[in-house]
């Protein structure tokens, strides 16, 4: 900070150039979101006339009312379904990941490396690539079009196990575990009372990532769930967007935009309030 020589080398001209480049980039990333925000406040006809990037007739509250009352309030059901799938899946997967990651980090047993390598390989298997195989298997098992078709796949997170293992290895001291054993505590008790508490920050990260990945998932639920009362909000909103092409009875565009925006609100809140945990999860891969 105090080295003056390095500061001197950055001439003001290049500083402004850097600022200019960053500003252009932030316009590219922010302008579409701004358009979405503005569009969600407009009337249907207002969307097709006037400046797309500035407010016209302010109809946000009317739009929101329409979003939540359309088709007997199915949008609320979609949000509740999304919450059920995301909280249920992420909750179970966090607990399971913590158990598995702790075992991989703190016990020495045969097959440990094999298991961990399997987990690492599975981290690289993208969820959408697995969606069609899951559908084929679930349709054989008659699980398609049930809550379980979306809830069960959300309960496994190899990335969560990977994070939990790294974190447990780095932050749960062997001495504490050993002390607990000497005091006669069982292994499960040591895990539940000591390890879980130390691993809490990692568990928040695991829960967050799994919650977001379930909430934003589209391909798996759109394959699995034909019943629109079971669908999560992503499938519901895209369904409304697709109806527009059908002509009469179509969902007005401003309603689709407002519905899309509302579905992103929980994630933006999570993102802004838990930034520290986001970064912890994102950088875990690059440092190893």
Reduce the DSSP state of residue 244 to 3 states and report it: helix
70 binds another protein (CB under 8 A): no
**Which two three-digit tokens encode residue 212?**
């977001």
Nearer to another protein, 159 or 230 (CB): 159
Dist. CA 161–CA 115, nearest whole Å = 11
* Beta carbon nearer to another protein, 26 or 69: 26
The DSSP 8-state label assigned to residue 232 in this structure reads -
Query: What is the Cα–Cα distance from 111 to 87, expressed in whole angstroms?
Result: 32
279 binds another protein (CB under 8 A): yes
Minimal distance in Å, beta carbon 62 to another protein? 19
Is 49 one of the binding residues for another protein (CB under 8 A)?
Answer: no
Using CB under 8 A as the binding rule, whether residue 2 contacts another protein is answered as: no
187 near another protein, judged by CB under 8 A: yes
The Cα angle at residue 212 between residues 206 and 215, in degrees rounded to 5: 135
Q: Does residue 72 bind another protein (CB under 8 A)?
A: no
Helix (H, G, I), strand (E, B) or coil at 193: helix
Q: Which residue has the tokens 């912890």?
A: 280
Is residue 142 at the binding interface for another protein, with CB under 8 A as the rule? no
For residues 250 and 40, is the Cβ–Cβ distance under 8 A? no
Applying CB under 8 A, among 2, 28, 248, 273 the residue interacting with another protein is 28
Please identify, using beta-carbon distances, which residue of 62 and 219 lies nearer to another protein.
219
Q: Which of 6, 13, 72, 248 binds another protein (CB under 8 A)?
A: 6
Alpha helices in the chain (DSSP H): 4-9, 12-39, 44-47, 60-106, 112-123, 127-140, 148-154, 158-171, 174-182, 187-190, 196-198, 200-216, 219-224, 233-243, 253-273, 275-287
What are 174's two structure tokens?
């062997």
**Nearest CA to 274 among 196, 194, 206, 199?**
206
What character string, x for contact with another protein (CB under 8 A) and - otherwise, covers 202-231? -------------xx-xx---x--------
Token pair 């302010």 in the structure block, residue:
58
Residue 161 CA to residue 165 CA, distance in Å, equals: 6
Q: Is 273 in the site for another protein (CB under 8 A)?
A: no
170 binds another protein (CB under 8 A): no
Residue 37 vs 68, nearer CB to another protein: 37
Closest contact distance (angstroms) between CB of 66 and another protein is: 17
**Among the residue ranges 60-68, 70-78, 203-211, 267-275, the one whose residues contact another protein (CB under 8 A):** 267-275
Can residue 5 be called a binding residue for another protein (CB under 8 A)?
yes
Single out the segment in contact with another protein by CB under 8 A; choices: 32-40, 60-68, 70-78, 196-204. Answer: 32-40
Residues 100-139 interacting with another protein (rule: CB under 8 A): 100, 102-104, 106-110, 112, 115, 118, 122, 124-137, 139
Q: Is 4 in the site for another protein (CB under 8 A)?
A: no
């Amino acid at each position: 900070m105090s080295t003056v020589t390095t500061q001197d080398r950055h001439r003001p001209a290049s500083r402004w150039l850097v600022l200019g480049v960053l500003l252009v980039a932030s316009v590219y990333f922010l302008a579409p979101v701004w358009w979405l925000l503005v569009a969600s406040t407009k009337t249907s006809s207002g969307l097709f006339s006037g400046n797309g990037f500035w407010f016209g007739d302010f109809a946000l509250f009317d739009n929101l009312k329409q979003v939540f009352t359309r088709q007997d309030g199915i949008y609320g059901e979609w949000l509740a379904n999304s919450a059920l799938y995301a909280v249920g899946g992420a909750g179970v997967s966090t607990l399971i990941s913590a158990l598995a990651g702790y075992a991989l980090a703190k016990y020495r047993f045969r097959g440990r490396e094999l298991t961990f390598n399997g987990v690492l390989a599975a981290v690289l298997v993208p969820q959408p690539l697995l969606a069609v195989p899951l559908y084929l298997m679930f349709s054989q098992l008659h699980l398609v079009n049930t809550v379980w078709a979306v809830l069960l796949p959300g309960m496994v997170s190899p990335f969560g196990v990977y994070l939990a293992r790294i974190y447990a290895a780095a932050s749960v001291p062997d001495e504490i575990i050993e002390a607990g054993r000497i005091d006669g505590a069982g292994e499960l008790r040591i895990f539940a009372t000591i390890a879980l508490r130390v691993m809490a920050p990692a568990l928040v990260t695991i829960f967050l990532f799994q919650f977001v990945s379930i909430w934003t998932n589209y391909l798996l639920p759109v394959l699995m769930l034909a019943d629109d009362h079971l669908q999560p909000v992503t499938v519901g909103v895209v369904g409304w967007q697709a109806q527009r092409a059908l002509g009469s009875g179509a969902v007005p565009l401003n309603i689709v935009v407002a519905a899309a925006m509302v579905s992103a609100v929980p994630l933006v809140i999570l993102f802004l309030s838990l930034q520290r945990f986001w970064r912890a999860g994102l950088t875990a891969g690059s440092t190893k």
